[in-house]
C-alpha cells in the first residue's frame, strides 16, 4: 500500500468487520479485534487526505436486507476507536451513495451498507463490482478473513482499479508465511476445534516442518478413536479415522512429539448445564457420555510440550468453549501459549474470539483475523483475494 499513489484520492477499502452481532450490539466492544486490526490502514489513508470508503459484509443475509445485520452499529464502534466520525451510508451502490462519496471532505471516512445485502457480492457479478469500483480511484484490500472468497469486492473490484494490500493483509501474509517457510524452531502446532476435516490441509502442509503436534478439542475424539479408545456418544468423523491414524504414524516416523489428551472432561449431556460432569482418563470415556474438554493433566502436559518452542501455531479451542463450564482447557492452554517468549500465531475464527474473550490477545505475537482464510493459507492454497492483487 505504501507504493500505491493514494494522496488526496478516493480509496475504497475492503475490510472485514464481520463481528458476532448475535452477541448483541452492546457487546461489540468485547469482539472488536477485527476493527482494531485494520485501524493502521485507515489512519494511513486518512493522514494522506484520502476520502476513505469502507466496505464489509456482516453475517449471512443471503442477498436480502436484514435489519439486524446493518453496518451502522459497527460504524459507531469504529468511530469511537478512531476518535473521529465514520458516517454510515444507507446502501453500498446507487446514486445516493455516489453523491454522498462525492461530497466527502478529504481526510474523512464513510462506511457502506452490508455488501451481502446484494446477491451480486457473493455471486461475483461484474456489474456489481464495477458499481463498487466507480466510487473510488484506488482499491485497498485489507480483509484477510475473506481473501479465500472469490467475491465481487475481493476479486472483481481489483480488476477495475489500481489496487494494493493493506497493512493488515501484509502482516497476515508475513506472519503466516513465516510460520510456513522460515519458522524459528522448534515449531509446534496446537490443533483443536470440532472437525479433523477442517484441519487436513494444515496438518499435511505443516507436518514436514513440524517438531511438536498437540491435538485437543472435538477433533481429538477422532484421533483417540483411531488409537482404539472408546469415545462414548461424542461425534466421531468416521471417514477421517484412517487419516488420523496415518497422521500419527507419520509423526512418529518423523520423530515429531505428539500430544493427545491424557484425561478428558465428560458429561452425560451435550449441554452447558448437564446433570453430571466428571474427569476420566482418555481411554475410559463411558458409553453415552460426551467429551467436552481436555482435563487438567492434559492441559499441564500440553503446556510442558510447548516449553522451549520457537514458534507456535494455534488453531481451534480445546473444548466446547461456547459453554462456560467447558472453557478451562482452552484457558489453560491459551495462558501457556501467551507465556511463551517465542513467536505465537493464533488462527482466526473461534480461536481468535476465545483469546480475545480470555484477555490474552495482546500477549500473542499475532492473532489472525481470518478463520477459514488462515486455514487455507496455512494449508498451502492460493487465496483469490491475494491472487487478484498486483504481485499476488
CB 349 within 8 A of CB 371: yes
Measured at the CA of 73, the angle between CA 70 and CA 78, to 5 degrees, comes to: 120
Which residue bears the cell 493459507? 377
State the pairing for strand pair 263-267/277-281.
Answer: antiparallel
Please tell me the distance from the alpha carbon of residue 354 to that of residue 64, in angstroms, as a whole number: 30
Q: Give me the DSSP letters along 142-185.
A: --GGGTTS--IIIIIGGGTS-EEE-HHHHHHHHHHHHHHHSPPS
CB 194 within 8 A of CB 218: yes
Please tell me the distance from the alpha carbon of residue 104 to that of residue 257, in angstroms, as a whole number: 57
Look up residue 25 and give its DSSP letter.
Answer: G
Please tell me the distance from the alpha carbon of residue 222 to that of residue 195, in angstroms, as a whole number: 8
CB 121 within 8 A of CB 57: yes
Which residue bears the cell 454510515? 88
- For residue 190, give Cα distances in angstroms to 33, 266, 293, 360: 21, 21, 15, 16
Q: Determine the 3-state secondary structure of 305 from DSSP.
A: helix
Look up residue 291 and give its DSSP letter.
Answer: E
Would you name the residues annotated as active-site residues? 34, 195, 349, 372
CB 351 within 8 A of CB 374: no
Please tell me the distance from the alpha carbon of residue 392 to that of residue 382, in angstroms, as a whole number: 9
Backbone angles phi, psi at 62, to 5 degrees: 55, 50
Amino acid at each position: 500500500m505504501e507504493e500505491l499513489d493514494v494522496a488526496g484520492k478516493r480509496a475504497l477499502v475492503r475490510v472485514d468487520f464481520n463481528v458476532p452481532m448475535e452477541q448483541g450490539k452492546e457487546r461489540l466492544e468485547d469482539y472488536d479485534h477485527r476493527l482494531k486490526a485494520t485501524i493502521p490502514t485507515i489512519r494511513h489513508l486518512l493522514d494522506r487526505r484520502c476520502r476513505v470508503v469502507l466496505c464489509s459484509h456482516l453475517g449471512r443475509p443471503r442477498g436480502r436486507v436484514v435489519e439486524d445485520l446493518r453496518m451502522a452499529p459497527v460504524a459507531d464502534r469504529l468511530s469511537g476507536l478512531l476518535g473521529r466520525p465514520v458516517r454510515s451510508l444507507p446502501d453500498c451502490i446507487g446514486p445516493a451513495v455516489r453523491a454522498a462519496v462525492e461530497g466527502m471532505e478529504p481526510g474523512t471516512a464513510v462506511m457502506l451498507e452490508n455488501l451481502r445485502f446484494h446477491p451480486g457480492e457473493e455471486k461475483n457479478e461484474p456489474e456489481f463490482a464495477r458499481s463498487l469500483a466507480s466510487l473510488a480511484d484506488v482499491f485497498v484490500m485489507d480483509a484477510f478473513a475473506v481473501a479465500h472468497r472469490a467475491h465481487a469486492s475481493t476479486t472483481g473490484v481489483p480488476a477495475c482499479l489500481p489496487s494494493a494490500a493493506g497493512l493488515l493483509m501484509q502482516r497476515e501474509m508475513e506472519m503466516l508465511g513465516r510460520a510456513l517457510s522460515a519458522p524459528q524452531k522448534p515449531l509446534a502446532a496446537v490443533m483443536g476445534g470440532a472437525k479433523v476435516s477442517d484441519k487436513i490441509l494444515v496438518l499435511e502442509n505443516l507436518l514436514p516442518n513440524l517438531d511438536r503436534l498437540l491435538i485437543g478439542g472435538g477433533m481429538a475424539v477422532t484421533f483417540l478413536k483411531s488409537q482404539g479408545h472408546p469415545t462414548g456418544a461424542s461425534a466421531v468423523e468416521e471417514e477421517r479415522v484412517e487419516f488420523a491414524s496415518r497422521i500419527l504414524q507419520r509423526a512418529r516416523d518423523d520423530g515429531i512429539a505428539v500430544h493427545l489428551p491424557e484425561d478428558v472432561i465428560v458429561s452425560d449431556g451435550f449441554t452447558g448445564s448437564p446433570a453430571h460432569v466428571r474427569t476420566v482418563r482418555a481411554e475410559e470415556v463411558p458409553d453415552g457420555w460426551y467429551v467436552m474438554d481436555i482435563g487438567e493433566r492434559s492441559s499441564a502436559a500440553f503446556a510442558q510440550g510447548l516449553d522451549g518452542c520457537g514458534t507456535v501455531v494455534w488453531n481451534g479451542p480445546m473444548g466446547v468453549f461456547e459453554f462456560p463450564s467447558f472453557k478451562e482447557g482452552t484457558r489453560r492452554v491459551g495462558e501457556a501459549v501467551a507465556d511463551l517468549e517465542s513467536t505465537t500465531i493464533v488462527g482466526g475464527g473461534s480461536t481468535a474470539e476465545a483469546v480475545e474473550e480470555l484477555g490474552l490477545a495482546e500477549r500473542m505475537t499475532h492473532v489472525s483475523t481470518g478463520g477459514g482464510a488462515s486455514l487455507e493459507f496455512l494449508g498451502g492454497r492460493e487465496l483469490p483475494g491475494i491472487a487478484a492483487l498486483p504481485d499476488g
